[in-house]
A and B are shown apart, each in its own frame.
Chain A
Amino acid sequence: QQQVKQSPQSLIVQKGGISIINCAYENTAFDYFPWYQQFPGKGPALLIAIRPDVSEKKEGRFTISFNKSAKQFSLHIMDSQPGDSATYFCAAPTYNAGNMLTFGGGTRLMVKP
């Protein structure tokens, strides 16, 4: 069964700083790794995803870096803003069950003004 380990559990960053969240997975039959963002009282929403035919994907201030040999991927938030304060989940396809995701434990990010 797929396991996805996410760190840190919580993160405090000053406004303008860089937030970094890391994830490691065990196995996957499909190369697709999304990140979800969740605000308090809301459901998670897809933020950004990578298909590792590339090692990095950037969308605005959000960047995913992927290391296939190490089975690790990370989310970088550049110029972090208070509005980025949320819980972030990484996910990986459940091995041999392509239509499901296994999620990491989540990272609660707080960006201080």
Chain B
Amino acid sequence: NAGVTQTPKFQVLKTGQSMTLQCAQDMNHNSMYWYRQDPGMGLRLIYYSASEGTTDKGEVPNGYNVSRLNKREFSLRLESAAPSQTSVYFCASSEGWGIYGYTFGSGTRLTVV
């Protein structure tokens, strides 16, 4: 019963480097989301995918790109990392109407130096 799996769990990047955060869910959920968590700011939506083949911007999309590779997988890419992207990143999924229950992964703690 894995749920939502995120890799890696920790990462340190230098400014300007690129990387991809991976997310996979095994619950056959239609919708997937990427949030970032910063102290005092809660969880802010970066991008979401309401269904396979679609992606849309959330509240804070600048500096990020996403790919909904298939129904299971939703990746987040940082093309040129900046210190402002230091954060904890969470992937989540939901079946249909997401408001009725997200399942979150355990997060990726990213530090950009």
With the chains together, A89 CA to B97 CA distance in Å? 19
Q: How many residues of A contact B (CB 8 A)?
A: 26
Q: State the CA gap A34–B50 with chains docked (Å).
A: 20
Chain B interface residue count, Cβ-Cβ cutoff 8 angstroms: 28
The answer on a CB contact under 8 Å between B99 and A30 is: yes
CB within 8 Å for A101 and B98 given contacts A42-B106, A44-B104: yes
Contacts of B42 in A (CB 8 A): 4, 6, 89, 103-106
- CB B73 to nearest CB in A, in angstroms, measures 17
Q: Given A1-B59, A32-B99, A46-B101, A103–B43 Cβ distance below 8 Å? A: yes
Name the residue on B nearest A30 (C-beta). Answer: B99
Shortest beta-carbon distance from A23 to chain B in Å: 11
- Contacts A32-B100, A100-B33: A9 and B40 contacting too (C-beta < 8 A)? yes
Can you list 11 pairs linking A and B with CB atoms under 8 Å apart? A9-B40, A30-B99, A41-B106, A43-B106, A89-B43, A99-B50, A99-B94, A100-B48, A101-B98, A101-B102, A103-B42
B residues at A contact (CB < 8 Å): 4, 31, 33, 35, 40-45, 48, 50, 58-59, 90, 92, 94, 96-102, 104-107
A residues in contact (CB < 8 Å) with B: 1, 4, 6, 9, 30, 32, 34, 36, 41-46, 49, 89, 93, 98-106
